Protein backbone atom coordinates (compact mmCIF):
# COMPACT_ATOMS: atom_id res chain seq x y z
CA UNK A 1 0.00 0.00 0.00
CA UNK A 2 1.35 3.42 -1.01
CA UNK A 3 1.73 5.82 1.89
CA UNK A 4 0.52 9.37 1.25
CA UNK A 5 0.95 12.53 3.26
CA UNK A 6 -2.27 13.93 4.67
CA UNK A 7 -3.96 16.16 2.06
CA UNK A 8 -7.21 18.09 1.74
CA UNK A 9 -9.81 16.54 -0.51
CA UNK A 10 -11.56 19.89 -1.07
CA UNK A 11 -8.22 21.34 -2.12
CA UNK A 12 -8.06 18.86 -5.01
CA UNK A 13 -9.21 19.70 -8.50
CA UNK A 14 -11.10 16.88 -10.19
CA UNK A 15 -8.01 15.95 -12.21
CA UNK A 16 -5.77 15.96 -9.12
CA UNK A 17 -8.10 13.63 -7.25
CA UNK A 18 -8.11 11.27 -10.25
CA UNK A 19 -4.31 11.29 -10.27
CA UNK A 20 -4.21 10.62 -6.53
CA UNK A 21 -6.57 7.67 -6.88
CA UNK A 22 -4.54 6.17 -9.71
CA UNK A 23 -1.36 6.44 -7.66
CA UNK A 24 -3.23 4.68 -4.87
CA UNK A 25 -4.10 1.82 -7.25
CA UNK A 26 -7.76 2.85 -7.65
CA UNK A 27 -9.80 3.65 -10.76
CA UNK A 28 -10.03 7.30 -11.85
CA UNK A 29 -13.83 7.14 -12.11
CA UNK A 30 -13.96 7.02 -8.31
CA UNK A 31 -13.14 10.74 -8.38
CA UNK A 32 -16.55 11.45 -9.92
CA UNK A 33 -18.25 9.43 -7.19
CA UNK A 34 -16.37 11.23 -4.42
CA UNK A 35 -17.11 14.66 -5.89
CA UNK A 36 -20.77 13.72 -6.21
CA UNK A 37 -20.97 12.70 -2.56
CA UNK A 38 -19.25 15.85 -1.34
CA UNK A 39 -20.54 18.62 -3.61
CA UNK A 40 -23.95 17.32 -4.72
CA UNK A 41 -25.12 15.16 -1.86
CA UNK A 42 -23.39 17.15 0.90
CA UNK A 43 -21.94 14.11 2.67
CA UNK A 44 -19.24 15.20 5.09
CA UNK A 45 -17.51 11.91 5.85
CA UNK A 46 -15.92 9.24 3.69
CA UNK A 47 -17.76 6.61 5.75
CA UNK A 48 -21.05 7.86 4.30
CA UNK A 49 -19.97 7.30 0.67
CA UNK A 50 -21.85 4.04 0.32
CA UNK A 51 -20.89 3.09 -3.26
CA UNK A 52 -17.19 3.02 -2.36
CA UNK A 53 -15.59 -0.11 -0.94
CA UNK A 54 -14.87 -0.22 2.78
CA UNK A 55 -11.17 -0.53 2.01
CA UNK A 56 -11.20 2.64 -0.14
CA UNK A 57 -13.24 4.56 2.41
CA UNK A 58 -10.71 3.61 5.08
CA UNK A 59 -7.81 4.64 2.87
CA UNK A 60 -9.45 7.98 2.08
CA UNK A 61 -10.11 8.67 5.76
CA UNK A 62 -6.50 7.84 6.66
CA UNK A 63 -4.93 9.87 3.85
CA UNK A 64 -7.19 12.85 3.08
CA UNK A 65 -8.34 15.57 5.46
CA UNK A 66 -12.09 16.23 5.37
CA UNK A 67 -13.84 18.24 6.58
CA UNK A 68 -11.39 20.99 7.48
CA UNK A 69 -13.86 23.40 9.04
CA UNK A 70 -15.97 23.00 12.12
CA UNK A 71 -18.91 25.36 12.53
CA UNK A 72 -18.49 26.96 15.93
CA UNK A 73 -21.52 29.24 15.69
CA UNK A 74 -23.82 31.15 13.37
CA UNK A 75 -25.47 34.51 13.92
CA UNK A 76 -28.61 35.50 12.04
CA UNK A 77 -29.99 38.80 10.81
CA UNK A 78 -32.98 39.40 8.52
CA UNK A 79 -31.06 38.99 5.26
CA UNK A 80 -27.63 37.96 6.51
CA UNK A 81 -26.06 34.99 8.30
CA UNK A 82 -22.55 35.10 9.72
CA UNK A 83 -20.69 31.82 10.18
CA UNK A 84 -17.81 31.36 12.58
CA UNK A 85 -15.52 28.50 11.55
CA UNK A 86 -12.91 26.79 13.67
CA UNK A 87 -9.94 25.50 11.70
CA UNK A 88 -7.95 22.37 12.44
CA UNK A 89 -5.21 24.39 14.18
CA UNK A 90 -7.71 26.17 16.42
CA UNK A 91 -7.64 29.44 14.48
CA UNK A 92 -11.00 31.01 13.59
CA UNK A 93 -12.34 32.72 10.51
CA UNK A 94 -15.71 34.14 9.45
CA UNK A 95 -17.77 34.06 6.29
CA UNK A 96 -21.12 35.65 5.48
CA UNK A 97 -24.24 34.61 3.58
CA UNK A 98 -26.15 37.52 2.06
CA UNK A 99 -29.71 37.09 0.79
CA UNK A 100 -31.05 39.52 -1.81
CA UNK A 101 -34.26 38.54 -3.61
CA UNK A 102 -33.37 35.22 -5.30
CA UNK A 103 -29.60 35.77 -5.04
CA UNK A 104 -27.57 33.93 -2.42
CA UNK A 105 -24.09 35.36 -2.10
CA UNK A 106 -21.30 34.02 0.09
CA UNK A 107 -18.56 36.37 1.27
CA UNK A 108 -15.44 34.20 1.58
CA UNK A 109 -12.40 34.78 3.75
CA UNK A 110 -8.97 34.01 2.27
CA UNK A 111 -6.79 34.59 5.33
CA UNK A 112 -6.95 34.55 9.12
CA UNK A 113 -6.52 38.23 9.88
CA UNK A 114 -5.33 40.62 7.18
CA UNK A 115 -2.02 42.33 6.29
CA UNK A 116 -3.65 45.49 4.88
CA UNK A 117 -4.60 47.00 8.27
CA UNK A 118 -7.14 49.44 6.78
CA UNK A 119 -7.93 52.13 9.34
CA UNK A 120 -11.69 51.41 9.31
CA UNK A 121 -11.62 47.59 9.18
CA UNK A 122 -11.80 45.07 12.01
CA UNK A 123 -10.21 42.20 10.08
CA UNK A 124 -6.66 43.54 10.11
CA UNK A 125 -6.43 44.84 13.66
CA UNK A 126 -4.26 41.89 14.68
CA UNK A 127 -2.44 41.75 11.34
CA UNK A 128 -2.03 38.60 9.27
CA UNK A 129 -1.98 35.34 11.23
CA UNK A 130 -1.91 32.92 8.31
CA UNK A 131 -3.31 32.30 4.86
CA UNK A 132 -6.07 29.76 4.27
CA UNK A 133 -5.55 26.76 2.04
CA UNK A 134 -7.58 26.25 -1.10
CA UNK A 135 -9.52 23.53 0.70
CA UNK A 136 -10.39 25.82 3.61
CA UNK A 137 -11.68 28.46 1.19
CA UNK A 138 -13.70 25.93 -0.82
CA UNK A 139 -15.25 24.42 2.29
CA UNK A 140 -16.72 27.78 3.36
CA UNK A 141 -18.82 27.79 0.19
CA UNK A 142 -19.51 24.06 0.39
CA UNK A 143 -20.88 24.11 3.95
CA UNK A 144 -23.02 27.19 3.36
CA UNK A 145 -24.41 25.63 0.18
CA UNK A 146 -25.29 22.56 2.25
CA UNK A 147 -26.97 24.86 4.80
CA UNK A 148 -29.02 26.44 1.99
CA UNK A 149 -30.03 23.14 0.40
CA UNK A 150 -32.06 22.37 3.51
CA UNK A 151 -34.18 25.38 2.50
CA UNK A 152 -34.34 24.44 -1.19
CA UNK A 153 -31.78 27.11 -2.13
CA UNK A 154 -28.16 27.19 -3.30
CA UNK A 155 -25.15 29.47 -3.42
CA UNK A 156 -25.07 31.36 -6.73
CA UNK A 157 -22.54 34.19 -6.17
CA UNK A 158 -19.16 34.34 -4.44
CA UNK A 159 -17.25 37.39 -3.29
CA UNK A 160 -13.69 37.16 -1.97
CA UNK A 161 -14.29 40.10 0.35
CA UNK A 162 -14.12 38.50 3.78
CA UNK A 163 -11.10 38.43 6.06
CA UNK A 164 -7.76 38.78 4.32
CA UNK A 165 -6.21 40.13 1.12
CA UNK A 166 -7.01 37.55 -1.60
CA UNK A 167 -4.09 38.46 -3.88
CA UNK A 168 -1.65 37.93 -0.99
CA UNK A 169 -2.89 34.31 -1.06
CA UNK A 170 -2.91 34.15 -4.83
CA UNK A 171 -2.38 30.45 -5.56
CA UNK A 172 -4.94 29.19 -3.03
CA UNK A 173 -7.55 31.74 -4.11
CA UNK A 174 -7.02 30.97 -7.80
CA UNK A 175 -7.30 27.25 -7.17
CA UNK A 176 -10.49 27.70 -5.14
CA UNK A 177 -12.00 29.68 -8.03
CA UNK A 178 -11.24 26.87 -10.47
CA UNK A 179 -12.60 24.20 -8.09
CA UNK A 180 -15.85 26.04 -7.32
CA UNK A 181 -16.38 26.82 -11.00
CA UNK A 182 -16.16 23.12 -11.96
CA UNK A 183 -19.47 21.66 -13.11
CA UNK A 184 -18.84 18.68 -10.81
CA UNK A 185 -18.69 20.90 -7.70
CA UNK A 186 -20.93 23.92 -7.01
CA UNK A 187 -20.56 25.01 -10.67
CA UNK A 188 -20.65 28.72 -9.93
CA UNK A 189 -20.05 30.89 -12.97
CA UNK A 190 -16.82 32.89 -12.92
CA UNK A 191 -18.89 35.90 -13.95
CA UNK A 192 -20.66 35.52 -10.61
CA UNK A 193 -17.39 35.57 -8.66
CA UNK A 194 -15.74 38.77 -7.42
CA UNK A 195 -12.22 39.23 -6.06
CA UNK A 196 -11.50 42.30 -3.95
CA UNK A 197 -7.99 43.67 -3.42
CA UNK A 198 -6.34 46.67 -1.76
CA UNK A 199 -4.04 46.79 -4.78
CA UNK A 200 -1.16 44.41 -5.47
CA UNK A 201 -0.16 45.54 -8.93
CA UNK A 202 1.91 42.51 -10.09
CA UNK A 203 -0.78 40.05 -8.99
CA UNK A 204 -3.54 42.08 -10.66
CA UNK A 205 -1.62 41.80 -13.93
CA UNK A 206 -0.99 38.11 -13.29
CA UNK A 207 -4.70 37.53 -12.70
CA UNK A 208 -5.49 39.28 -15.98
CA UNK A 209 -3.46 36.63 -17.81
CA UNK A 210 -5.28 33.66 -16.24
CA UNK A 211 -8.09 33.68 -18.82
CA UNK A 212 -10.72 33.94 -16.13
CA UNK A 213 -13.85 36.05 -16.16
CA UNK A 214 -14.08 36.98 -12.49
CA UNK A 215 -14.98 40.51 -11.46
CA UNK A 216 -12.22 42.58 -9.89
CA UNK A 217 -12.74 45.21 -7.18
CA UNK A 218 -10.14 47.66 -5.88
CA UNK A 219 -10.51 48.96 -2.34
CA UNK A 220 -9.59 52.56 -3.16
CA UNK A 221 -11.00 54.63 -0.27
CA UNK A 222 -9.01 57.80 -1.09
CA UNK A 223 -8.57 60.06 -4.14
CA UNK A 224 -4.75 60.21 -4.06
CA UNK A 225 -1.72 58.20 -2.95
CA UNK A 226 -0.73 60.47 -0.06
CA UNK A 227 -4.17 60.27 1.54
CA UNK A 228 -4.57 56.59 0.72
CA UNK A 229 -1.40 55.61 2.61
CA UNK A 230 -2.92 57.07 5.78
CA UNK A 231 -6.10 55.02 5.45
CA UNK A 232 -4.46 51.84 4.09
CA UNK A 233 -0.90 51.31 5.40
CA UNK A 234 -0.44 48.46 2.87
CA UNK A 235 -0.82 51.07 0.09
CA UNK A 236 2.79 52.15 0.70
CA UNK A 237 3.91 49.06 -1.24
CA UNK A 238 2.58 50.18 -4.62
CA UNK A 239 2.02 53.68 -6.02
CA UNK A 240 -1.61 54.39 -6.87
CA UNK A 241 -0.67 55.18 -10.46
CA UNK A 242 0.85 51.70 -10.83
CA UNK A 243 -2.23 50.04 -9.32
CA UNK A 244 -4.66 51.93 -11.56
CA UNK A 245 -2.57 50.99 -14.59
CA UNK A 246 -2.82 47.33 -13.56
CA UNK A 247 -6.59 47.66 -13.12
CA UNK A 248 -6.87 49.16 -16.62
CA UNK A 249 -4.83 46.24 -17.93
CA UNK A 250 -7.22 43.80 -16.23
CA UNK A 251 -10.26 45.51 -17.77
CA UNK A 252 -8.66 45.47 -21.22
CA UNK A 253 -7.57 41.83 -21.08
CA UNK A 254 -10.77 40.40 -19.59
CA UNK A 255 -13.34 42.79 -21.08
CA UNK A 256 -14.80 43.04 -17.59
CA UNK A 257 -15.85 46.28 -15.95
CA UNK A 258 -13.98 46.94 -12.73
CA UNK A 259 -15.25 48.43 -9.51
CA UNK A 260 -13.60 50.90 -7.16
CA UNK A 261 -14.88 50.66 -3.61
CA UNK A 262 -14.80 53.82 -1.55
CA UNK A 263 -15.64 53.64 2.16
CA UNK A 264 -16.94 57.03 3.27
CA UNK A 265 -15.57 58.18 6.63
CA UNK A 266 -17.30 61.22 8.11
CA UNK A 267 -15.17 64.41 7.88
CA UNK A 268 -12.18 62.40 6.65
CA UNK A 269 -12.67 61.41 2.99
CA UNK A 270 -16.29 62.38 2.31
CA UNK A 271 -15.94 66.10 1.53
CA UNK A 272 -16.72 67.88 -1.73
CA UNK A 273 -13.05 68.28 -2.65
CA UNK A 274 -12.50 64.55 -2.23
CA UNK A 275 -15.36 63.74 -4.60
CA UNK A 276 -14.04 66.19 -7.20
CA UNK A 277 -10.52 64.75 -7.00
CA UNK A 278 -11.85 61.18 -7.17
CA UNK A 279 -13.87 62.00 -10.30
CA UNK A 280 -10.73 63.47 -11.90
CA UNK A 281 -8.67 60.40 -10.96
CA UNK A 282 -11.13 57.98 -12.58
CA UNK A 283 -12.27 60.05 -15.56
CA UNK A 284 -12.51 57.96 -18.73
CA UNK A 285 -11.97 54.60 -17.01
CA UNK A 286 -14.11 51.50 -17.61
CA UNK A 287 -15.40 51.33 -14.05
CA UNK A 288 -18.02 51.83 -11.37
CA UNK A 289 -17.50 53.48 -7.99
CA UNK A 290 -19.28 51.69 -5.16
CA UNK A 291 -19.82 53.99 -2.18
CA UNK A 292 -19.87 52.29 1.23
CA UNK A 293 -20.86 54.38 4.26
CA UNK A 294 -18.56 53.33 7.11
CA UNK A 295 -19.83 50.46 9.24
CA UNK A 296 -18.93 51.04 12.91
CA UNK A 297 -16.23 48.86 14.47
CA UNK A 298 -15.93 48.66 18.24
CA UNK A 299 -12.86 50.50 19.48
CA UNK A 300 -12.42 52.70 16.40
CA UNK A 301 -13.12 56.43 16.75
CA UNK A 302 -14.59 56.87 13.29
CA UNK A 303 -18.06 57.97 12.26
CA UNK A 304 -20.47 57.12 9.49
CA UNK A 305 -21.46 60.08 7.27
CA UNK A 306 -25.10 61.05 7.22
CA UNK A 307 -27.31 60.35 4.25
CA UNK A 308 -27.13 63.92 2.93
CA UNK A 309 -23.33 63.75 2.73
CA UNK A 310 -23.40 60.44 0.87
CA UNK A 311 -25.99 61.79 -1.58
CA UNK A 312 -23.91 64.93 -2.19
CA UNK A 313 -20.76 62.87 -2.77
CA UNK A 314 -22.57 60.59 -5.22
CA UNK A 315 -24.10 63.54 -7.07
CA UNK A 316 -20.67 65.12 -7.66
CA UNK A 317 -19.29 61.88 -9.11
CA UNK A 318 -22.28 61.28 -11.37
CA UNK A 319 -22.31 64.89 -12.60
CA UNK A 320 -18.76 64.27 -13.83
CA UNK A 321 -19.64 61.08 -15.68
CA UNK A 322 -18.58 58.52 -13.06
CA UNK A 323 -21.01 55.63 -12.77
CA UNK A 324 -21.77 55.25 -9.07
CA UNK A 325 -23.61 52.80 -6.81
CA UNK A 326 -24.36 53.04 -3.13
CA UNK A 327 -24.04 49.79 -1.21
CA UNK A 328 -27.02 49.05 0.99
CA UNK A 329 -25.73 47.96 4.40
CA UNK A 330 -26.70 44.45 5.44
CA UNK A 331 -25.72 42.56 8.54
CA UNK A 332 -24.31 45.48 10.53
CA UNK A 333 -26.48 44.47 13.49
CA UNK A 334 -24.48 41.21 13.77
CA UNK A 335 -21.10 42.75 12.77
CA UNK A 336 -21.27 41.03 9.37
CA UNK A 337 -21.17 44.12 7.15
CA UNK A 338 -18.22 45.36 5.12
CA UNK A 339 -15.21 45.97 7.38
CA UNK A 340 -16.72 44.34 10.46
CA UNK A 341 -15.44 40.75 10.20
CA UNK A 342 -12.94 39.96 12.95
CA UNK A 343 -11.40 37.11 14.91
CA UNK A 344 -14.52 36.55 16.98
CA UNK A 345 -14.85 33.99 19.73
CA UNK A 346 -18.02 31.88 19.89
CA UNK A 347 -19.23 33.40 23.16
CA UNK A 348 -22.47 35.29 22.72
CA UNK A 349 -23.31 33.66 19.41
CA UNK A 350 -26.07 31.21 18.70
CA UNK A 351 -24.78 27.66 18.33
CA UNK A 352 -25.81 26.08 15.06
CA UNK A 353 -24.02 22.77 15.38
CA UNK A 354 -20.83 21.32 13.96
CA UNK A 355 -20.29 20.24 10.38
CA UNK A 356 -18.21 17.24 11.28
138-186 per-position pLDDT tens digit: 999 999 999 999 999 999 999 999 999 999 999 999 999 999 999 999 9
pLDDT tens-digit readout, 235-279: 999 999 999 999 999 999 999 989 999 999 999 999 999 999 999
Catalytic residue among 26, 94, 136, 261: 94
Ordered by where they begin, the domains of the chain are 7-65 (1.10.150.530), 70-334 (3.20.20.70)
Please compute the mean of the pLDDT values over residues 193-204 and round it to a whole number.
97
Strands 258-264 and 287-293: parallel
List 10, 107, 121, 338, catalytic entry: 338
**HEC string for 199-242:** CCHHHHHHHHCCCCCCEEEEECCCCCHHHHHHHCHHHHHCCHHH
Q: Round the CA-based radius of gyration of the chain to a whole number and report it.
A: 21
Q: Is 165 a catalytic residue?
A: no
Calculate the average pLDDT of the chain: 89
Average of per-residue pLDDT across 321-347? 60
101: left (phi over 0), alpha (psi -120 to 50) or beta: left
Range list of H helices, the chain: 14-23, 30-35, 54-63, 134-149, 170-181, 201-208, 225-231, 240-254, 272-282, 307-319
Quote the longest CA-to-CA distance of the chain.
70
What is the pLDDT confidence band of residue 328, given thresholds at 50, 70 and 90?
low
- Check if 272 is active-site: no
Band of pLDDT at residue 343, cut at 50, 70 and 90 = low
What is the tens place of the pLDDT at every residue in 9-50?
Answer: 999 999 999 999 999 999 999 999 999 999 999 999 999 999
Query: pLDDT-based confidence at 352, cuts 50/70/90?
Result: very low
Among 72, 88, 71, 70, residue whose Cα is nearest residue 6: 88
On the question of pLDDT at 299 being above 90, the answer is: no
Confidence at residue 18, expressed as pLDDT on a 0 to 100 scale: 97
| Range picked from 78-82, 140-144, 298-302 for highest mean pLDDT | 140-144
| CA proximity to 328, closest of 296, 281, 290 | 290
Flag whether pLDDT at 2 surpasses 80: no
Amino acid sequence: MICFLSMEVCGFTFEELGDWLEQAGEKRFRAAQIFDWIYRKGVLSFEGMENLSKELRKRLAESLRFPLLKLAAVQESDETSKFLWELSDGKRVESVLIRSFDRRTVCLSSQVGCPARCAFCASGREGLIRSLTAGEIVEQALHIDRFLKEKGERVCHLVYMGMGEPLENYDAVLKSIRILNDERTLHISQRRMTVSTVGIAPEIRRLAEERLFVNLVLSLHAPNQHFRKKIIPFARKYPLEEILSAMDFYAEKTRRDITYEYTLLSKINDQEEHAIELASLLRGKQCTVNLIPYNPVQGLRLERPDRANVCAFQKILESRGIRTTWRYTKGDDIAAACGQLALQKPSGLTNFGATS
